[in-house]
């Protein structure tokens, strides 16, 4: 049996395509940053970075960066026409105050209830770090998760209850994985689409919580 799956860029492109024109969006560090490379032409989508910029642009060309202009992942970025700078308390007020339409975050686990675990595996001796993850999870109007469907050892990352420390309670709206696009609804998880060559039963087996067939 083959193992059909979407690539990181394919997942990023799907997420980008689901972001409406005029949205204010925060892309989390790591894989979600890829979404910025796939924003559809013709839509004005304003990217927010927690360290105080709206209207963030892509990485600068060689020799074009500014030493005071970075993103949340501390990588050099650019400012687009119409950009604005603000301090940290204002930046997080935008998140906490529900002004961002969408944020895209990575995850270790997502529960059927929309609980998110993405900041700590809780291992003893690990150096903890939370950054802006909890603020984004609790503040953005819609939280999209971008992650692999299973761990490297094949365990489901979509679960009945998170076993890792929580980032936020009931905060995830939609999950994009290498296998499927799944909505978190009050009635439970609903698969909207999944990779060609995978049956719904196979998808259900790879998922650690009850899953409804949204195509049916």
Partner 1 sequence: MINRIVDSPEAAVADIFDGATVLIGGFGGVGVPNELIDALIAQGARDLTVVNNNAGNAELGVAALLKAGQVRKIVCSFPRQADSYVFDGLYRSGKLELELVPQGTLAERIRAAGAGIGAFFCPTGYGTPLAEGKETRIIDGRGQVLEHALHADFALVRAKLADRWGNLTYSKTARNFGPVMAAAARCTIAQVDRIVELGELDPETIVTPGIHVKRVVRVAPAADAQAS
Residues designated catalytic: 50
Among 62, 67, 82, 186, binds partner 1 (CB under 8 A): 67
Residue of 69, 67, 35, 173 whose CA lies nearest to 116? 173
22: left (phi over 0), alpha (psi -120 to 50) or beta: left
Tally Cβ neighbours within 10 Å of residue 202: 16
Among 5, 60, 80, 85, binds partner 1 (CB under 8 A): 85
Among 143, 166, 181, 189, binds partner 1 (CB under 8 A): 166
Residue 11 or 100 having the CB closest to partner 1:
100
Q: What character string, x for contact with partner 1 (CB under 8 A) and - otherwise, covers 126-155?
A: -xxxxxxxxx--xx----------------
Residue 168 or 208 having the CB closest to partner 1:
168
Tally Cβ neighbours within 10 Å of residue 9: 13
Least gap, CB of 52 to partner 1 (angstroms):
5
Binding range to partner 1, per CB under 8 A, among 40-48, 65-73, 103-111, 148-156: 65-73
Give the binding-site size for partner 1 (rule: CB under 8 A).
Answer: 40
- Residue 30 is classified by DSSP as S
- 3-class secondary-structure state, position 139: helix
Residue 113 in the binding site for partner 1 (CB under 8 A): no
Residue 92 in the binding site for partner 1 (CB under 8 A): yes
Q: Pairing relation of β-strands 174-176 and 142-146?
A: parallel
Residue 58 in the binding site for partner 1 (CB under 8 A): no
Least gap, CB of 198 to partner 1 (angstroms):
33
Do residues 143 and 172 touch, judged by C-beta distance below 8 A?
Answer: yes
CA distance 183 to 191: 6
| 100-111 exposure pattern, b = at least 16 Cβ within 10 A, e = fewer | bbbbbbbbbbbb
Contact footprint for partner 1 (CB under 8 A): 49-53, 66-70, 74, 79, 85-89, 91-93, 95-96, 120, 125, 127-135, 138-139, 165-169
């Amino acid at each position: 049996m083959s193992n059909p799956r979407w690539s990181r860029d394919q997942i990023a492109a799907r997420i980008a395509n689901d972001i409406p024109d005029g949205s204010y969006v925060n892309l989390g560090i790591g894989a979600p940053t890829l979404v910025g490379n796939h924003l559809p032409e013709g839509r004005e989508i304003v990217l927010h970075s927690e360290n105080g910029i709206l209207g963030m642009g892509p990485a600068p060309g060689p020799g074009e960066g500014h030493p005071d202009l970075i993103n949340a992942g501390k990588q050099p970025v650019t400012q687009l026409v119409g950009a604005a700078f603000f301090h940290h308390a204002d930046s997080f007020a935008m998140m906490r105050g529900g002004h961002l339409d969408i944020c895209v975050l990575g995850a270790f686990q997502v529960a059927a209830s929309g609980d998110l675990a993405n900041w700590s595996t809780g291992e003893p001796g690990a150096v903890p770090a939370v950054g802006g993850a909890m603020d984004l999870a609790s503040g953005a109007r819609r939280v999209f998760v971008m992650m692999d469907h299973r761990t490297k050892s094949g365990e489901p990352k979509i679960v009945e209850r998170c076993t890792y420390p929580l980032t936020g309670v009931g905060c995830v709206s939609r999950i994009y994985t290498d296998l499927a696009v799944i909505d978190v609804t009050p009635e439970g998880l609903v698969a909207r689409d999944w990779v060609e060559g995978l049956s719904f039963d196979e998808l259900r087996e790879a998922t650690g919580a009850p899953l409804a067939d949204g195509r049916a």
